[in-house]
Amino acid sequence: MSGNKQIAGGDGEWLQQSLEDDDQEIYQIIRNEKERQRCGLELIASENFASAAVLQALGSCLNNKYSEGYPGVRYYGGAEYIDEMERLCQRRALELFKLNKDEWAVNVQPYSGSPANFAVYTAIVQPHGRIMGLDLPDGGHLTHGFFTEKKKISATSIFFESMPYKVNQETGLIDYDKLAENAKLFKPKIIIAGVSCYSRHLDYKRMREIADENKAYLMADMAHISGLVAAGIVPSPFEHCHIVTTTTHKTLRGPRSGMIFCRKGVKSVDPKGNKEMYNLEKPINEAVFPGLQGGPHNHAIAGVAVALKQAMTDKFIQDQKQTIANAQHMAKLLVDRGYNVVTGGTDNHLMLVNLKSKGTDGNRADKVLEAIGVACNKNSCPGDTSALRPSGLRLGSPALTSRGFKEADFDKVADFIDRGIQLTLEIQQVIGPKAPFKDFKDKLYKDEDICAKVKSLKDEVASFASAFPIPGFPLL
Ligand SMILES: *Cc1c(COP(=O)(O)O)cnc(C)c1O
């Protein structure tokens, strides 16, 4: 280090080193993960590739700033630019979803989707108050109140009382009649309209009617579909819901974060002209901070603002349309190859494929697909009796669509999936159909003949996938 530099940078200069110079171990791990992302086929329905601009905001100096509180009312000084940034993010959020600022408020501070949901329950439902959400095995999310006979799994089911509603086990479609019947008995404070694995539009209108009959709030959790909603190509939950929560990193393609929208202003006017006002904004804001969170993640909020601006462009809308077109195309290809796609297809970015009729299950197929570089999730299917052996795979198109995949490219993707599943069946044939999962994995990872086949498929996947661009930075 030169004498001059020492004067200018002092001992702090090492804190300006690049990651590569500073920490080779983490640098290499990130490089490896980037290679994995570049060479694989990403079909996890909740994942996406954030843009370089979003990642730059995430890696910015905003990470350094504490700003507990809200714009204009902070517990920390020096928050003038943070205020400006958070307000801009809020304005963009309302504009993107075409919401009037006199009728809707938005909180952009939730650290992610799960904390956003918990903040709403904390604000609106008393401890051990009641909520109803779609059951996890039926396509709902953990935070909608999941529990089993043995254990309360989600904190939502520990601190609140949850009663799930379900899909019809034959059709795979939400049983709204049953929801209406049970809501009448259970009298929930909140009904949640939101899904992590459901390929059809939700009937928000019907759900609002059910909520109204029981004086419940209707909350949409549009975590998966917020990009599609933003593009205006699936029904918007805002028309019928009181509260809407979302993540920002799924179809919306932003950083990992969360948002809560809620109605404000006049709720109703009685015959005498007396107005009843909504009381959601204040309790929700207080639940987020100081109730559950501390300092906002300002770098993430800035990244959300960037993603929201991108989401207002024609390019984004085109991408979202392509996302659905790709998913529908892939669903059709799989049906044509004899796969049982639950509900027969998809209205959105994902599908659930039940492998039972093919003679295998989600656990086994998922492992083989992972080994060949195709990433997706095992998932339970309607009619499954064992949670330990889910019958299906959840496949989604958002991430690959962000890499520029079109329908014709999904021909190839569907082919790789099919070949992975054929290989799954081949392994099962060798070890016998009843062989335990451990034997299956042994064969998959240790058998010479199988490993050679896996490697050759994986190489094919990699050479296909790596030809497509990948959003973000070139190396990291
Ligand atoms: C992904 C998801 C969440 C949770 O988001 P995290 O950011 O993982 O906490 C909540 N609700 C639904 C419906 C989701 O799909």
CA–CA separation, 329 and 344 (whole Å):
12
Please say if the pLDDT value at position 10 is more than 80: no
* Ligand 1 centroid from CA 113, angstroms: 5
β-pairing, 350-354 vs 340-341, is antiparallel
Q: What is the pLDDT of residue 9?
A: 56
Task: Indicate the average pLDDT of the chain.
Answer: 96
Ligand 1 pocket residue status of 48, Cβ below 6 Å: no
Q: Which protein residue has the closest C-alpha to ligand 1 atom 6?
A: 113
Please say if the pLDDT value at position 8 is more than 80: no
Q: Where are the beta strands (DSSP E) in 300-403?
A: 340-341, 350-354, 374-375, 377-379, 392-396
Task: Name 394's bridge partners.
Answer: 352, 377
Ligand 1 pocket residue status of 196, Cβ below 6 Å: yes
For residue 198, report the phi and psi dihedrals to the nearest 5 degrees. -155, 125
Please say if the pLDDT value at position 466 is more than 90: yes
Q: What is the pLDDT of residue 4?
A: 47
Q: What is the pLDDT of residue 5?
A: 47
pLDDT tens for 287-306 read: 999 999 999 999 999 999 99
pLDDT band at 2 (very low <50, low <70, confident <90, very high): very low
Q: Where are the beta strands (DSSP E) in 278-376?
A: 340-341, 350-354, 374-375
* Ligand 1 centroid from CA 120, angstroms: 14
pTM, entire model: 0.96
Q: What is the pLDDT of residue 388?
A: 85
Q: What is the pLDDT of residue 123?
A: 98
Q: What is the pLDDT of residue 412?
A: 98
Ligand 1 pocket residue status of 396, Cβ below 6 Å: no
Alpha helices in 146-203 (DSSP H): 155-159, 176-186
CA–CA separation, 22 and 18 (whole Å):
6
CA–CA separation, 95 and 73 (whole Å):
23
* Ligand 1 centroid from CA 12, angstroms: 39
Ligand 1 pocket residue status of 113, Cβ below 6 Å: yes
* Ligand 1 centroid from CA 225, angstroms: 11
Which positions are catalytic?
197, 249
Q: Which protein residue has the closest C-alpha to ligand 1 atom 2?
A: 223
Q: Nearest to residue 324, comparing CAs of 177, 207, 224?
A: 224
Ligand 1 pocket residue status of 281, Cβ below 6 Å: no
Atom of ligand 1 nearest to the CA of 144: 11
CA–CA separation, 208 and 225 (whole Å):
19
Question: Best of 108, 134, 247 to mutate for ligand 1, by most ligand atoms within 8 A of CB?
Answer: 247
Q: Which protein residue has the closest C-alpha to ligand 1 atom 3?
A: 113
Question: Best of 143, 202, 245 to mutate for ligand 1, by most ligand atoms within 8 A of CB?
Answer: 143
Atom of ligand 1 nearest to the CA of 224: 15
Ligand 1 pocket residue status of 224, Cβ below 6 Å: yes
pLDDT tens for 119-167 read: 999 999 999 999 999 999 999 999 999 999 999 999 999 999 999 999 9
In this prediction, residues 400-419 reach a mean pLDDT of 98
Q: What is the pLDDT of residue 3?
A: 44
Atom of ligand 1 nearest to the CA of 257: 7
Q: Which two tokens stand for residue 452?
A: 């050679």
CA–CA separation, 239 and 229 (whole Å):
12
Please say if the pLDDT value at position 312 is more than 90: yes
pLDDT band at 1 (very low <50, low <70, confident <90, very high): very low
Q: Which protein residue has the closest C-alpha to ligand 1 atom 10?
A: 113
Ligand 1 pocket residue status of 194, Cβ below 6 Å: yes
* Ligand 1 centroid from CA 192, angstroms: 13
Ligand 1 pocket residue status of 264, Cβ below 6 Å: no
Q: Which two tokens stand for residue 340?
A: 């049982």
Q: Where are the beta strands (DSSP E) in 302-386?
A: 340-341, 350-354, 374-375, 377-379
* Ligand 1 centroid from CA 436, angstroms: 32
pLDDT tens for 42-71 read: 999 999 999 999 999 999 999 999 999 999
Ligand 1 pocket residue status of 112, Cβ below 6 Å: yes
Q: What is the pLDDT of residue 7?
A: 54
Ligand 1 pocket residue status of 221, Cβ below 6 Å: yes
CA–CA separation, 336 and 275 (whole Å):
57
List of residues 6+ apart from 24 with CB closer than 8 A: none
In this prediction, residues 332-350 reach a mean pLDDT of 98
In this prediction, residues 176-201 reach a mean pLDDT of 98
Alpha carbon dihedral 367, 371, 373, 378, in 10-degree steps, equals 0
Please say if the pLDDT value at position 12 is more than 90: no
Q: Nearest to residue 392, comparing CAs of 356, 368, 421?
A: 356
Q: Which protein residue has the closest C-alpha to ligand 1 atom 4?
A: 113
Please say if the pLDDT value at position 203 is more than 50: yes
CA–CA separation, 6 and 9 (whole Å):
5
Task: Name 375's bridge partners.
Answer: 42
CA–CA separation, 297 and 68 (whole Å):
10
Atom of ligand 1 nearest to the CA of 195: 13
* Ligand 1 centroid from CA 223, angstroms: 6
Q: Which two tokens stand for residue 94?
A: 């309302």
Quote the distance between the C-alpha of residue 402 and its chain's center: 15
DSSP SS3 for 287: helix
Burial of 456 (0-12, 13-18, 19+ CB in 10 A): exposed
Ligand 1 pocket residue status of 202, Cβ below 6 Å: no
Q: Which protein residue has the closest C-alpha to ligand 1 atom 15?
A: 196
pLDDT band at 433 (very low <50, low <70, confident <90, very high): confident
